[in-house]
Amino acid sequence: MNELVEHGNPQNWYLVLSTILFSIGVMGVLFRRNGLIILMCVELMLNSVNLLLVSFSAYSGNTEGQVFVFFIMVVAAAEVAVGLALLVSIYRNLASTDINILSKLKW
Amino acid sequence: MDNFINLTQLITPASLIPLFPLLGFFITALFGKQLKHFSGWFASAMILLSFGLALHLFLNLPANQSLNFNLFNWIKWGNINLAFGFLIDPLSLVMLLVVTGIGFLIHLYSIGYMHHDEGFSRFFSYLNLFIFFMLLLVMGNSYLIMFIGWEGVGLCSYLLIGFWFKNDSYNDAAKKAFIMNRVGDLGFLIGMFFMLFYLGGLDFETVNANAINYPAGSSLLVAITLLLFVGAMGKSAQIPLYTWLPDAMAGPTPVSALIHAATMVTAGIYMIARSNLIFALAPFTMEVVMWVGVITSIFAAIIGIKQTDIKKVLAYSTVSQLGLMFAALGIGAFESGMFHVVTHAFFKALLFLGAGSVIHAMGGEQDMRYMGGLGKYIRITWLTFLIGTLAISGIFPFAGFFSKDEILAASFGANKTVWILLSISSMMTVFYMFRLFFLTFSKSFRGTEEQKHHLHESPWTMTLPLIVLAIFSVGAGFLGMPAVMSSTHYFSQYLAPVFEGSKSLITEHHHADHGTELMLIGIALSAAAISIGLAWSFYVSKNQIPEDEPQGLSKWVANKFYIDELYNTIIVKPIMVISDILFVLVDKLVVDLIVMAAAWIVGFTGRTLRLVQTGNTGFYIFAMVIGMMVLMFIQLVY
């Protein structure tokens, strides 16, 4: 990691940070069973990508990446609205947000 | 200029002619249950409208002119441009009047005849559909339109023969008619391909214009005409494709009158008359047409002598008369052939309808052995039937006399052997027709008491067509009187423009002088008289009734020379055996195996892969992440 920072440019710091954030998000989605936390982890992944896009935008000096970020934020907001609504509905029916209970839909 | 305006004004009525029966078909087919017995009247009215329009065209089409118009471009592909259009000329007008006129009378007749049938509306929808296709056939300005009508009438024939579909043997008869016609249609179709390829199109104008460039007797034209003639053989029931027509009598009697006597079976004659130019350019085909006609005429007449079913006699009579018409065409006497088509349509429709009236009176009995003495009970049928019998026998002054005499005179000029054979066949015609007449109407009743009690004249809807047709059977002949009686032959004069092109190509048989003509008439009439006398002595004086188990030669004749059995043995059975073998070897072993294997593989894959669907969300997400990683890895490596 040191080599990365020393021989590269400051941009690499953003790369490393967003990679870490993204990995945390993936791990959370994979290993947590609480639906709410999974949604949060998905948000984390999205925002790590946003960070990366913004940093690249600043680095390369055009605004395209920033425009993308706005789009992603809008989509994320919509996604969260639907996801939370689903979760509320699940909680009302099962009194739990554990996704492992939701395994009736199978072969 | 006047004529031009006149002609364009006729386009609309001409295009409307086939539309009325089509409309009638849709309405009677869709609303038959609601219309009940009204559908019969409605269907008849549609045909009457078409007849009115045809009459309008007939009266207003200027002499020596024809109306040829395209409604729309139908098939456009490469250099081929096939239009959908109609041709109204004297030839098609004659056919139009016959089809719609006799068609209307038979519709009217059917209202009475089919009154108690549960399929009343269905019957009329089929009849209307038939008239529609028949009109397409005669009105089309190209072989393609003619072929549409050709196939359509075949379909309607099938539907109507098998009208009482609960009876298996009727269904078999319908299938037989359909399949045998397919054999002929294949010839027609291949002929059309030849024309499209070598003569640059399918409409009559193009074909004729291009055919004239070929030398007479060129192999191409011979091939085309022979193939067309194969089609005509199937549709018009000529040897060897005639066996379907007698079986087609399974259908209701009006169907036999309309389709299997007056109109559809004459389509072959119409087609050859329409193609008279290319046929005239192929002398070999003309020879074939003539001989097939002559042989069919005499062969069917022989079989007709020994039949006991009233409709079967008439069916073989039709085959025989069609043979006579083909013989006329083969000689090159196209107008005479068409003239006989028209007169035959009148008196054969009359005879069939009369037979229907007899069957109606007898409560469904068709066997002449159980009839007899009916003349006393059903006067109108008796009288009209007598007129029909005299007309088909060619007794002066009934219609058949003039047309038959014309054909005989033409054959006398062309080929003496043909003349002798046709005269013999005419003699036999007279004999079996009077045999039928005497067995049915003379002497005393041979049926059961119950039938005797039931005997009654038919309602007016049935007798009126009989009377009208009887009037025409008497009068139609005067349209074409032999030269010895009148200086103008209206019928051939009217049709002359149609056959103009071919006239110069046919070796002109110099018109027989008046002496010869009178001699021929004398011979024909005395031959007819002898036949009537023979029939009288057998069936009235000696009061013979055909025996149930004929012996010797007459057993062969009564069984139609076992032609059906022969066809069964040499064609139907081998095909059955081959299809059985193919069923086991190809269908069961090869096709089934491939299909079953494909189904099994799909099933197996599905059964295995469905286990992936665990229902566990965590597992799905895990699989998704793994998948993304694999994709990323592939992206990095390649």
Radius of gyration of chain B (CA): 29
Question: CB B611 to CB A107 under 8 A?
Answer: yes
Q: How far apart are CA B135 and CA B101, in angstroms?
A: 12
Classify the complex by whether its ipTM is higher than 0.90, answering yes or no.
Answer: no
Average pLDDT, stretch B474-502? 79
**What is residue B34's predicted lDDT score, i.e. its pLDDT?**
84
Tokens of B321: 């008369």
> Over 90: is that where the pLDDT of B489 sits?
no
pLDDT digits (tens, 9 = 90+) for B543-588: 777 777 777 777 777 777 788 888 888 888 999 999 999 999 999 8
Average pLDDT over residues B611-625: 85
Q: What stretches in chain A show pLDDT beneath 70? A: 1-8
pLDDT tens-place string over residues B187-208: 999 999 999 888 888 888 888 8
Burial category of B625 from C-beta neighbours within 10 Å (exposed 0-12, middle 13-18, buried 19 and up): middle
Query: From the candidates A39, A103, A104, which should be mutated to test the interface with B, based on the most B CB atoms within 10 A?
Result: A103
For chain B, first and last CA: distance in Å?
82
What pLDDT does A2 receive?
Answer: 58
Model confidence, pTM: 0.79
| Phi, psi angle pair for B77, to nearest 5° | -155, 110
For residues B361 and B453, give the distance between their C-alpha atoms in angstroms, rounded to a whole number: 10
For A103, which of B615, B622, B625 is closest by C-beta distance?
B615
Check whether B269 has a pLDDT greater than 50. yes
pLDDT digit string (tens) for B134-149? 999 999 989 999 999 9
What is the bridge-based pairing of β-strands B67-77 and B80-88? antiparallel
Who among B610, B611, B622 is closest to A30 (CB)?
B622
Q: Cα B384 vs. chain centroid, distance in angstroms? A: 24
Q: Which of B146-150, B165-169, B216-220, B484-488 has the lowest mean pLDDT?
A: B484-488
Class of the CATH-defined domain A2-101: mainly alpha
Closest CA to B517 of B353, B627, B401, B425: B401
> Do B617 and A99 lie within an 8 Å CB cutoff?
yes
**How high is the pLDDT of residue A23?**
93
Q: Which two tokens stand for residue B126?
A: 């089929």
The percentage of residues in chain B with a pLDDT greater than 70, rounded to a whole number, is: 98
The pLDDT assigned to B1 comes to: 39
Cα B253 vs. chain centroid, distance in angstroms? 15
Q: Which of residues 564-623 of B touch A (CB under 8 A)?
A: 610-611, 613-618, 621-622
* Mean pLDDT score, B366-372: 82
Nearest CB among B613, B616, B621 relative to A30 is that of: B621
Confidence of residue B2 (pLDDT cuts 50, 70, 90): very low
CA distance to A93, B294, B529, B610, per residue, from A106 (Å): 19, 80, 94, 9
Mean pLDDT of the B295-320 span: 90
Question: Which of B608, B611, B612, B617 is the mutation pick for testing A, counting most A CBs within 10 A?
Answer: B617
Q: Does the beta-carbon distance from A29 to B610 stay under 8 Å?
A: no
Tokens 């104008």 belong to residue? B205
The count of other CB atoms within 10 Å of the CB of residue B36 is: 11
> Residue B599: what pLDDT?
95
Asked whether the beta carbons of B350 and B388 are under 8 A apart, the reply is yes
Q: Does the distance separating the beta carbons of B618 and A26 come in below 8 Å?
A: no
Please report which confidence band the pLDDT of residue B27 belongs to, taking 50, 70 and 90 as the band edges.
very high
| Residue B39 pLDDT > 60 | yes
| Tokens matching residue B20 | 């009325």
A45 vs B contacts (CB less than 8 Å)? none
Q: What average pLDDT does the segment B241-258 reach?
A: 88
Q: Which residues of B touch A102 (CB under 8 A)?
A: 615, 617
Element (H, E) at B33: helix B32-35
Strand, helix or coil for residue A68? helix
Centre a 10 Å sphere on the Cβ of residue B173 and count the other Cβ atoms it contains: 21
